[in-house]
Chains A and B, each alone.
Chain A
Amino acid sequence: MKQIAVVSGKGGTGKTTLSGSLSFLFKNHVMADCDVDAPNLHLLMEPKLKETHEYYGGKKAEIEGHRCTSCGICMNTCRFSAIIPGTPYRVDPYACEGCNACVLTCPEEAITLKESKSGDYFLSKAGELPLSHALLTPGEETSGGLIAEVRKLALKVAEQEEHDYVVIDGAPGIGCAASSSITGVNYVVIVAEPTISGMHDLQRIVETTRHFMRKFGIVINKFDLNTVKTDEIANWCNKEKIEILGNIPFDPEVRNSAIRAEPVVKNKNSAAAKAIKEIYYRLLDLI
């Protein structure tokens, strides 16, 4: 069984457009939506919910008001500005990282760490296709751990039901969430866009992918929007010996199919669909 992750240094480059279409093209696979912060893949699939799991990613400090003497030691200890002074002192749950330092220093033993729910993860079925996905509680930060759960669940199903592939719609960015989407996968597809920021974002995600020593190739989305920038990306890839898996044109059909909430490859005659199909065949060769 092989794991393929679709990522981009940044959101909005067409990651879900591509992975939604791959979910339609691949056979005998499991999908995992690792953008737990703003998951969208399920919108393309009308999945039926099969399992829900609660995710407890970390802890938060809690101050027992009647024991607090407002001495301020906890506030001075906390390095995350998570303690709000007052009578009694309070914890800002958004800033608290559950590190334990305030608990250790409180002379009145008024502070404890409590398990905190950071989100839910789900197994759904879209027709025959298993989809593992999640939703982070807004404002939470432990998305790397939740992504790990989404991937574990996808792998479990893939093993149990003997699927050939796990296709991962990765998280945007280059931080913890993006890293968690690509660790240990067999192949990373990086989606880039030919814009002044696209080049900058691409270089950062390539560096991140190399940091995790994964094999990867690049797809340029909306390549005809700015051919100067597309050439720049192509030249850079050539110099860095990075394979370009394909170019997807700027095609209004992409947006139309998004409004209909269906993968763009469903409309086989669209220019974007044709390009994505070629990318799919290239991917099959490579993995």
Chain B
Amino acid sequence: MKIAVVSGKGGTGKTTVATNLAWVTAAKKPVQLLDADVEEPNSHLFFHVKYTGETDVEILLPRVNKEKCILCGECAKVCQFGAISVFSTGVLVFDNLCHGCGACKIACPTKAIYELKKQIGVVKTGIIHEKLTFGTGLLNIGEPSGVRIIRELKKYIDETKTVIIDAPPGTSCPVVETLRGMDYALMVTEATPFGLHDLRLAVEVVKEMDIPMGIVINRASDDYTEIEEYASSKNIPILEKIPFDRDIATAYSRGSLFVELKKEWFERFEKLYEKIAGVIA
């Protein structure tokens, strides 16, 4: 079973829900927690991870063999990203614009283009405890897109375990990449007009991908009930409400799991897992 923890936006409590849910569930069965928020992965900060593997994620950048190049300009013409310019003196490749697609190499009539690997980030895997394994991706500073890191991270998915993925924020390409192939989307939102606005966008994406979903309201309070109204109008179940609570915020700031604060919370997260498992089964 593969659960993605999604929020329209950062800071709504995605990592809080993913880490606490993984911890509680792993008390009973094998769990794999993956952090796909590769621009700013934070899940590892809540655990002592013993890392056992690290893989570089690379793209292929074109380089031009000057002796073979006839400066015909075909490579620049086919490149959709403006990453190649041809001058009378030679060919210039702008590495930061290059998507590493290989189109220039295909188009070159004299086979003057060869490719070199460039590392754009890493994927690290490790163990938190016997029943809780971990994986995370990290995009290098200055690199535009983490999609390829997410794709690499997802290769480590162990179908025999309960997989919980902490998704990147937002609703753009990296989130879609994370959601692909997931059995359930756990939507985390906060009880404000901002939360509702972002939730609507995220629900649109998950609906289009046809993945079952449920909502956890973080920083819930009785004075803003529009999330509940929206959820019921869309037939999306609200699975849990985490109150607006300074103790929970402080636990997060220290890097502690708040399910460890009170037994009641541990049990509520056990129920949260059971509700999700009930939908998928």
B11 touches A101 (CB 8 A): no
Q: How far is the CB of B139 from chain A (nearest CB, A)?
A: 6
B40 sits at the interface (CB 8 A): yes
Using A40-B194, A104-B78, A194-B253 as known contacts, say yes or no to A139 and B9 having CB atoms under 8 A apart: no
Give the interface segment out of B85-93, B97-105, B266-274. B97-105
Within 8 A of A (CB), among B27-86: 39-40, 42, 45-46, 60, 78-81
Q: Does A97 contact B (CB under 8 A)?
A: yes
Contact with B along A55-92 (1 / 0, CB 8 A): 00011000000000000000001011100000000000
B116 within 8 A of A: no
Which one of B12, B80, B194 contacts A100 once the chains associate, using CB atoms below 8 Å? Answer: B80
**CB neighbors of A among B1-40 (8 A):** 8-12, 15, 39-40
8 Å CB contact of B246 from A38, A136, A250: A250
A222 to chain B, nearest CB (A): 8
Taking residues whose C-beta sits less than 8 angstroms from the other chain, chain A's interface range is 35 or more
Contacts of B100 in A (CB 8 A): 79
Q: Closest CB of chain A to B178's CB: distance in Å?
A: 11
Q: How far is the CA of A135 from the CA of B221 in the complex (A)?
A: 29
Complex alpha-carbon distance, A204 and B108, angstroms? 39
Minimum distance in angstroms from A49 CB to a CB of chain B: 16
Knowing A38-B201, A43-B197, A200-B42 are in contact, say whether A195-B253 is a contact too (CB < 8 A).
yes
A140's partner among B46, B168, B173 (CB-CB below 8 A) is: B173
Q: Are A38 and B173 in contact (CB under 8 A)?
A: no
Nearest neighbor of B60 in chain A, beta-carbon distance: A79
Closest Cβ of chain B to A75, distance in Å, is 14
User: B78, A255: Cβ atoms under 8 Å?
Assistant: no
A99→B246 contact, CB < 8 A:
no
A136-156 vs B, Cβ < 8 Å mask (1 yes, 0 no) = 101111011000000000000
Find chain B residues with CB under 8 A from A225 CB.
Answer: 246, 249-250, 253
Selected from B45, B145, B176, the residue in CB contact (under 8 A) with A200 is B45
> In whole angstroms, what is the CA distance A81 to B253 when docked?
39
In the complex, what residues of B have CB within 8 A of residue A101's CB? 101-103, 106
Counting CB contacts under 8 A, is A229 at the interface?
yes
Judged by a CB distance under 8 angstroms, whether B107 is at the interface is yes
- Bound Cα distance A173, B40 (Å): 7
Q: Which residues of A contact B12 (CB under 8 A)?
A: 11-12
**Interface membership of A174, Cβ < 8 A:** yes
For the complex of A and B, 9 pairs with smallest distance between CB atoms? A12-B11, A11-B10, A141-B173, A99-B101, A196-B255, A37-B170, A176-B144, A197-B42, A226-B253
B-binding residues in A (CB < 8 A): 9-13, 16, 37-38, 40, 43, 58-59, 77, 79-81, 94-95, 97-101, 104-105, 113, 136, 138-141, 143-144, 172-176, 178-179, 193-198, 200-201, 204, 207-208, 211, 222, 225-226, 229, 250, 252, 255, 258-259, 261
20 contacts between A and B (CB under 8 A): A10-B42, A11-B9, A12-B9, A12-B10, A38-B170, A43-B197, A79-B102, A95-B177, A97-B80, A104-B103, A139-B171, A140-B173, A173-B168, A175-B143, A175-B145, A176-B145, A200-B40, A226-B250, A255-B244, A259-B193
